[in-house]
Amino acid sequence: QEYLWPAVMGSFKELGNAAYRESNFEEAVKQYSAAIDEDPFDHTLYSNRSAAYQQLGDYKNAARDASKTIQLDPEFVKGYARKGQAEFFLGNFGAAMEAYEQGLVLDPGNGVCKSGLERCQQRLTGTAPQRTSVPAANGNAAHDSELRQRKGKAEAEPEEASAGVATEGTKRKKDLRSYLSRMVNPLGLRPLWWFVYVVVVSCGIFGFLEVRSGGRLSQSIMGHPAAVRRAAGDKAETRSGQSKQQVRV
């Protein structure tokens, strides 16, 4: 996968979604990561990978990806829901509440954020019923009913496309990022191969212009050989004259 055509790159997200639906969450993380390598500005990729990390019990990485989702699209409500869920299972109830509250500002009727906020308030006030806990993959304890709820589609279903109502400003920023990405990297190459591509294309353009100019381009850049030799000779004569003067003195 050193070189990838855009059509192949576009399938990474689809492969990740398919793996997620089959509960193959490790494969889903792998495919979403490959998609992110090719398009690091798509917030839904980080949201989907956050959901997959949550299913694996890796709440630290789930919270990190949810934060990146919010950074890329501050009006994507599901990003705040992902953030709240991950922080909740990490035991950071204050941070979880903050994420849920921010989500409810954008969508006051969001059921995931509402129920998540209620759970956090119960934990902080000590009114939550005691449940048998099971160890999570990251060393934290998660409760049975909460784990079952985490399996629900409302909280963890991957995004097929950008969800939520995007503002005109958000759309314009996405369009601009997409346009710049296509301009800078039209073939969708990985960073190393993009650098090689730029070097090869630059050398090709320079060679073409050099042929068209009959060698004058390199001369204008490096200096005409005769002029360079004359300048070197003048410097040598100057140094020789200075040496002779010093000897006479």
Q: What is the pLDDT along the chain (249 residues), one digit of tens a residue?
A: 333 444 444 588 999 999 999 999 999 999 999 999 988 999 999 999 999 999 999 999 999 999 999 999 999 999 999 999 999 999 999 999 999 999 999 999 999 999 999 999 998 887 765 543 434 444 444 444 454 454 444 344 566 544 333 445 555 555 565 556 666 666 655 566 667 777 888 888 877 787 877 767 666 666 555 555 565 566 666 666 555 555 555
pTM of the model: 0.57
Q: Which one-letter amino acid corresponds to residue 81?
A: A
CB atoms within 10 A of CB 192: 9
Q: Are 40 and 49 in contact (CB under 8 A)?
A: no
Q: Report the alpha-carbon distance of residue 43 to residue 31 in Å, rounded.
A: 15
Look up residue 129 and give its two tokens.
Answer: 């019923």
Q: Which one-letter amino acid corresponds to residue 115?
A: S
Angle at 39 between CA 38 and CA 42, to 5 degrees: 155
pLDDT computed for residue 166 by the predictor: 43
CB atoms within 10 A of CB 218: 13
Q: Report the alpha-carbon distance of residue 190 to residue 243 in Å, rounded.
A: 58
Find tokens 């990978």 and name the residue.
49
